[in-house]
Chains A and B, each alone.
Chain A
Amino acid sequence: MLIEVKDVSKAFKKQQVLKDISLNINENEIFGLIGPSGSGKTTLIRLIIGAISSDSGSIHVMDYSIPNLKALNVIGYMPQNDALYSDLSGYDNLIFFGGMYQMKKESLKQRAEEVLALVELEKDAKKKVTNYSGGMMKRLSLAVALLHSPKVLILDEPTVGIDPILRKKIWDEFYKLKEQGKTIIVTTHVMDEAIKCDRLALIYQGGIIACDTVGTLLSKTKDNSIEELFLKRGVKEQ
């Protein structure tokens, strides 16, 4: 087990966002967090990285008890927005973030070229990010997350607002990374994207309503759609 989330609750002011969440994420899998917007996906991700601390419960990533500064060395994070410095070139963005992981100058340069090739941005590397298209920024953002070769990749809605062709490319990339032994956590609210994951956790109103492999989850539905699981739950609550 690579990531263990145990009985975690989190409230902002008086609003309970997550209650008693428990999750185990294995090494070398693509794990999807799926749920409607406002269900608490991003909060859970921020808890796993250690951006915020939980009110109760514990989180472990590898051997680190979260929050832990050292754990950030093994995690690559891609926030929902592209989070890039628009006045810098794509290459300079990579060099800067690499510096934050204390990468050596020569290996950083080499690695920057590698990830740029991976997301097919070699030609535009010297352009300022202001001049990038939405898709290019998304790819550069992914490149930044991959830069320091983290063991765990945490991606918050990585394919939102991306055309189907690029989306497929990015998913092909995820499978490749998985083959290399990485663990990937992806949040999404797009159901047809969720079925590309190995395992899924369905988050609804701050709780996990189901967590299993995609196959098992689908077998519980009549019409082979994840949406059904949410709809059932919604009807029950009413």
Chain B
Amino acid sequence: MKTLQIVKRIVKQTVNDRRSLALILIVPIFIFTLIFFLLGDSDYKASIVESGMSPLLMEKIEAQDLTVESMSIEEGKQAVKDKEKDALLYMEGSNIVILLESNDNVKTGIISKAVRNAVKEFNPSGEMNIEFIYGKSGANMFNSMGYIMLGVISFFLIFLLAGVSFVRERTAQTMERLMMSPVKRWQVVLGYTLGFGVFAMLQSVILLCYVKWVLKMSFAGSLIDASVIMILLSMSAVCIGAFCSIYANNEFQMMQFVPLLVIPQIFFSGLISLDTLPYHLGALAKIMPVYYACSALNEIIIKGQGLGSTGTQVIALLTFILLFFILNIIALKKYRKI
């Protein structure tokens, strides 16, 4: 009952504080719209040069809204280097080589897709190499970026909101006053977790619906499964944010946790392949909630799996929540011994 009162109060407070409300509901939508334009399918008309390719194939490529010109390999390379053209196509033995200036995700995506589509009809088993004048061929971040940002942004914003609210409670001494009423410590922590959980839930669902239906992000799995993961992640953000606030004396000190706790999680969220990291650094991911959430979102959104195949991740997230929930209850002893 007292827990419910605390939940109600937090909801009321947050609704009354327009800025916080905007931070959790409008800012993520704004960021995702930006990401959509930065990484999404653009209407860009790529221009390519070919050298010694089959004219039939080139016709098929041209039909996909690309401009095609013929040059010698040397001229073509120079044109790509000078950024006059986006890519050069030539044969190397039986393989088609696509040469680009550098790894630009959008251009690489558009051109390789067009070539792949065209080749499919002639020679389904044909090899295709993508090469770059500058930089190495890398994994295409195009598809992976979306779901990773879902996890990262949601964690970051909720972490900040919960942490700062807790710091405010301490500096305003409302926490001290609250603890001088006969409320139990677990009731306070549960009230807070659920109170911010309401907004975490709202944010997750609104954001997922937005990326699925408005931005039309490819979404293989179910929206509900993805919501469950997002909600678990933001609940862990609430608990961890509250815990960090113990070590922050003001709002700015809360911000100081961001480079320490949030930014490393971005690197370990799946943006960079973890197997290739030296000194077993990849193992660090095992202590990061964002890593678990993002790999679960990968299963659901990209691979189209159900919640069933994300058991490990769900258990890991629940463990984070429970662990920090208990730590928070213990931490409240600072205000009252019993």
Contacts and interface: CB of A to CB of B under 8 A. Distances in A.
Listed residue (A52, A67, A100, A144) with the most chain B CB atoms within 10 angstroms of its CB:
A100
A61 B320 CA distance: 40
Given A85-B9, A102-B1, A128-B16, A77 B180 contact: yes
B184 A86 contact: no
Nearest to A54: B337
A70 B184 CA distance: 11
A51 B9 contact: no
B192 to A, nearest CB: 13
Interface string B155-181: 000000000000000001110111111
B335 interface: yes
B303 interface: no
Interface string A82-100: 1111111000100011011
A51 B173 CA distance: 13
B180 A51 contact: yes
Given A79-B177, A100-B181, A101-B181, A67 B172 contact: no
Contact of B2 (A50, A72, A92, A99): A99
A49 B182 CA distance: 11
Contact of B180 (A70, A75, A86, A87): A75
A53 B17 CA distance: 36
Contact of B174 (A73, A80, A83): A83
Given A79-B173, A79-B177, A100-B5, A67 B337 contact: yes
Contact of A67 (B177, B181, B336): B336
Nearest to A86: B172
A118 to B, nearest CB: 19
A68 interface: yes
A83 B172 contact: yes
Chain B: number of interface residues, binned into ranges: 20 to 34
Interface string B1-16: 1100100110011101
Q: How large is the interface on A (under 10, 10 to 19, 20 to 34, 35 or more residues)?
A: 20 to 34
Given A50-B336, A52-B337, A87-B17, A72 B174 contact: no
Nearest to A81: B173
Nearest to B336: A51
A96 B180 contact: no
Interface in B1-45: 1-2, 5, 8-9, 12-14, 16-17
Interface of B: 1-2, 5, 8-9, 12-14, 16-17, 172-174, 176-184, 335-338
Cβ-closest 3 pairs across A and B: A99-B5, A100-B181, A83-B173
23 contacts: A49-B180, A51-B180, A52-B337, A68-B338, A69-B182, A70-B182, A72-B181, A77-B177, A79-B177, A81-B172, A81-B173, A83-B174, A83-B177, A85-B172, A87-B12, A87-B16, A88-B9, A88-B12, A92-B12, A96-B9, A100-B5, A100-B183, A128-B16
